[in-house]
Structure formats: structure tokens, C-alpha cells
């Protein structure tokens, strides 16, 4: 009420918005009676978005209200998340409840493009179905028959929840039951939580990853291959990551049992338990961790992806390869040579990784007279060049990029002459080149 009064006196053209987590909707009825009608109500959906839009939105009479839907949820921040089918239900329900607006919350981009794109297009066309949308989206990622195949793969993966996600498919006390598999606000790889990925999901995501890999192998151009590779590697990452979670969880159970034996002063039995059961589990775990990280490393193409990769090194790799080894060492005193040899092997640089070249951020809109610094990542040993073409003409200009840090370069896009309204640009390094991007000047 104080904020509303302040705006009335100092900024009468501004609107006040009451917002918060999902629990705020439980107070809507009371707030609605006590607060002026020109205050807009909004809040997140419960259970990380797996619960439907709260029915309280339908009891606000003529008050303006905007539900906030989860394009992605933070306890699954390392995982690909496709929620188009869920969004169709939520957006239809929001309309039925008389909502005038709708927001989508997210942290990353590109990997959440499918759901974000559906939210945008459904807002204009309420008859759009997930299947039709995925067909349109797939047409931007793949060519010819591969687009239809990609649309079917994504539709089924989303609709049938074939990929690891937070929702278990169960409800308890009126709310969806969720599990955290990569909550990046904490240790993320919390293998000590009392659950493992469902065997059916472990199997179905292998099938999704294999189907996407087959499509990627058939791609006809470097642009199509890059776009399919991005989706494919995100799905493929789930396979070794889920296996690593299962193995780490089971090793944790062994260590817990050893801890109980130690409390009972059965020290030798505790050591034997770790030696016989724990060491073999870690020897299976370590290669899966390497597979997962290298798989995701090959998908990195945005600043969000770079942050995710850094987080995996700080949390996933540390917990699985270092912390669990040290936990076993507490019992054994000295770890077997094969354990230390394997640790050295799985933390070596990968010798056969192909060179990468990408722009983590790609400007698409510039103010006239504006210049933007481009950060470029290149693992090749060849100089990096920024290539620019003005207004769709046939002449490209070339500017060398300057080294800025290890495997990183910088170049400047703009400023351009006032009469230029459109530019195209790409980055090259020897035979490597990024796709061509466009920027409009306004």
C-alpha cells in the first residue's frame, strides 16, 4: 500500500505489480480484497511449474493478472528441458482463468528456444499445437526429411518425458513430486539424495540420443550439422551423466554402510566393504564422468553453456572424481594403484577433440552509431578473423581479431555509416567458420 501510494504521488503513469513465488497465489484472495484494483497480480506456478496455473488467478474479477511459467527449472540447470506440451496446457488454462498476460522465466537461452518459441507463437495463435510447432521449429534446425524426423523425436521426448527431468510423474498432497538432478545453486551433483533416475528414463533417453545422432550424421551442410549437433550433444550428455549419478549414489551407500561399521568399531570390516564394493564402483564411475563432460564440452556455443561447463568442472568433476576418492581413502589409507592410474587418465586433455570456433554472444540488433565487442572462442591454432558484409552486398571486409585470453579473442562490430540498415557477419579461423549471422541497425 505504501508503494502504491508512492507511485500515485510521484509516478502516476506507472503501474504497481505484486509478484513472488508460487506461494503468493495462496494470498491472492486476501490481497484482492485489500489492495486497489489497478495493482497487477503475478507469481510463479508451484512445483517448479509442474503444477497447473493456480485457480486463484480466476477469482480476481477485473484485476489484471499474469501467471509466470517456468521455461526451465533451476534444479535441472545442466539438463535439456522441453516443456512445450506442458506450456500448451498452462497457456490455455491461463486464458480460461481470464489472465491478460503471461510471463516465462528462464536462465539460459538457445537450449530453451523450443519452449520459449512456443510461448511466443501460441500467444499470437491459440490454435497452434505442439506437434505443429515442433514441425516449424525443426524446420529451422534441419533440412528436408530430417526436419520431420527431428520434429517427431522432440515431440515424443517432450510429451512422453523421455529425458531426465525434475518431475517424477507422481502427485502428493495436491502437488507434483519433483527431484533435483542438477540444482546449480548448490552442489548440483547431489548423489547423496535418496533416489536414482528411473530405469525407464535411463533407457528412453538413450533412444532419443541415438535417434538425434543418426540425424546429425546425415546432415547436409555445416550449418545444419552445427544446429543438430547442439541438440544431440545435450541429449547424449544425459546418458553418461545418469549412469554417473547411479554409480555415485551406490558408492555413497557403500560409504554410509562403512561409516556405520566404523561407529560400531568394526574398522577392518569397514575397510573391506570399501575395498570390495566401493573401489569397483568408482572405477566404473570415473570414465562416465569423463564421457559426460567431454560430450557437453562439444556442445558449448553460448555464454550460458560456458557457465554450465565451468559449473560441471567445479561440482560434478570435483565431487565424483576427487571427493569420493578421498572418502574411500579415509578408510583404506592408500588407494589402489589402478584407482590413481585411472584418475590420471580420465583427467588428461582429450587428444582427438576437433578444433572449435564459436561466438558465445551474437548481437542481432544495434543502435545506429553503436559498436559492440564480440568475444570469440577458438581452440584452433590459426589466427581468427571477423568477416562483415554491409546491406547484403557481395563484398566482405576482413578484420583480424585480437587475442584476449587463453583460446579467446575479441573483435568489434560497428560503428557503421548512418545509411547502413543491415549487416551480416561471421568469424573464421583457417578452414573453420561460424554460420553467418545478421544484425539490424535501428
Distance of CA 96 to the CA centre of its chain: 30
Taking residues 86-104, what's their average pLDDT?
A: 97
Q: Are 115 and 199 within 8 A, CB to CB?
A: no
φ/ψ (deg, to 5) at 99: -70, 140
The end-to-end CA distance of the chain, in Å, is 40
Taking residues 99-121, what's their average pLDDT?
A: 96
Torsion of CA 371, 376, 380, 385, to 10 degrees: -10
What pLDDT is recorded for position 214?
A: 97
Three-state SS for 289? helix
On the question of pLDDT at 94 being above 90, the answer is: yes
On the question of pLDDT at 392 being above 80, the answer is: no
For 207, half-sphere exposure in the C-beta direction (CA atoms, 13 angstrom radius) is 15
On the question of pLDDT at 415 being above 90, the answer is: yes
What pLDDT is recorded for position 22?
A: 81
What band does 352 get if pLDDT is binned at 50, 70 and 90?
confident
pLDDT tens-digit readout, 3-42: 999 999 999 999 999 999 888 999 999 999 999 999 999 9
pLDDT tens-digit readout, 53-79: 999 999 999 999 999 999 999 999 999
In eight-state DSSP terms, residue 51 is S
Q: Report the distance separating Cα 409 and Cα 238, nearest Å.
A: 31
Three-state SS for 371? coil
Torsion of CA 199, 205, 211, 216, to 10 degrees: -150
What pLDDT is recorded for position 23?
A: 87
Three-state SS for 299? coil
Amino acid at each position: 500500500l505504501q508503494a502504491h501510494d508512492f507511485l500515485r504521488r510521484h509516478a502516476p503513469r506507472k503501474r504497481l505489480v505484486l509478484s513472488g513465488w508460487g506461494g503468493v497465489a495462496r494470498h491472492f484472495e486476501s490481497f484482492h480484497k485489500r489492495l486497489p484494483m489497478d495493482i497487477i497480480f503475478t507469481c510463479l506456478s508451484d512445483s517448479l511449474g509442474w503444477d497447473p496455473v493456480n485457480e486463484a488467478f480466476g477469482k480476481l474479477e477485473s484485476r489484471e493478472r499474469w501467471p509466470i511459467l517456468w521455461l526451465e527449472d533451476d534444479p535441472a540447470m545442466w539438463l535439456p528441458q522441453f516443456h512445450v506440451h506442458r506450456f500448451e496446457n498452462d497457456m490455455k488454462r491461463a486464458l480460461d482463468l481470464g489472465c491478460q498476460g503471461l510471463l516465462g522465466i528462464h536462465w539460459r537461452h538457445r537450449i530453451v528456444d523450443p519452449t520459449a518459441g512456443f510461448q511466443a507463437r501460441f500467444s499470437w495463435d491459440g490454435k497452434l499445437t505442439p506437434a505443429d510447432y515442433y514441425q516449424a521449429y525443426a524446420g529451422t534446425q534441419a533440412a528436408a526429411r530430417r526436419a520431420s524426423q527431428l520434429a517427431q523425436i522432440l515431440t515424443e521426448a517432450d510429451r512422453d518425458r523421455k529425458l531426465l527431468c525434475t518431475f517424477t510423474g507422481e502427485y502428493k498432497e495436491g502437488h507434483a513430486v519433483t527431484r533435483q538432478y542438477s540444482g546449480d545453486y548448490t552442489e548440483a551433483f547431489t548423489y547423496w539424495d535418496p533416489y536414482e533416475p528411473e530405469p525407464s528414463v535411463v533407457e528412453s533417453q538413450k533412444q532419443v540420443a541415438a535417434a538425434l545422432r543418426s540425424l546429425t550424421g546425415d546432415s547436409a551442410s555445416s550449418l545444419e550439422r552445427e544446429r543438430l549437433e547442439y541438440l544431440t550433444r545435450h541429449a547424449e550428455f544425459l546418458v553418461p551423466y545418469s549412469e554417473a549419478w547411479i554409480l555415485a549414489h551406490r558408492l555413497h551407500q557403500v560409504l554410509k554402510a562403512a561409516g556405520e561399521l566404523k561407529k560400531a568399531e568394526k574398522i577392518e570390516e569397514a575397510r573391506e566393504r570399501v575395498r570390495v564394493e566401493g573401489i569397483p564402483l568408482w572405477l566404473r564411475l570415473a570414465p562416465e564422468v569423463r564421457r559426460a563432460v567431454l560430450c557437453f564440452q562439444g556442445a558449448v556455443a553460448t555464454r550460458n553453456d560456458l557457465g554450465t561447463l565451468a559449473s560441471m568442472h567445479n561440482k560434478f568433476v570435483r565431487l565424483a572424481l576427487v571427493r569420493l576418492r578421498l572418502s574411500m581413502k579415509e578408510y583404506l589409507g592408500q588407494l589402489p594403484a589402478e584407482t590413481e592410474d585411472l584418475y590420471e587418465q580420465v583427467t588428461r586433455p582429450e587428444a582427438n577433440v576437433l578444433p572449435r570456433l564459436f561466438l558465445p554472444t551474437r548481437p542481432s540488433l544495434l543502435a545506429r552509431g553503436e559498436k559492440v565487442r564480440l568475444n570469440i572462442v577458438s581452440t584452433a591454432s590459426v589466427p581468427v578473423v571477423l568477416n562483415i558484409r554491409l546491406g547484403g552486398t557481395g563484398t566482405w571486409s576482413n578484420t583480424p581479431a585480437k587475442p584476449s585470453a587463453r583460446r579467446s579473442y575479441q573483435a568489434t562490430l560497428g560503428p557503421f555509416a548512418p545509411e547502413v540498415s543491415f549487416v551480416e557477419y561471421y568469424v573464421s579461423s583457417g578452414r573453420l567458420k561460424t554460420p553467418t549471422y545478421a544484425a539490424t541497425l535501428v
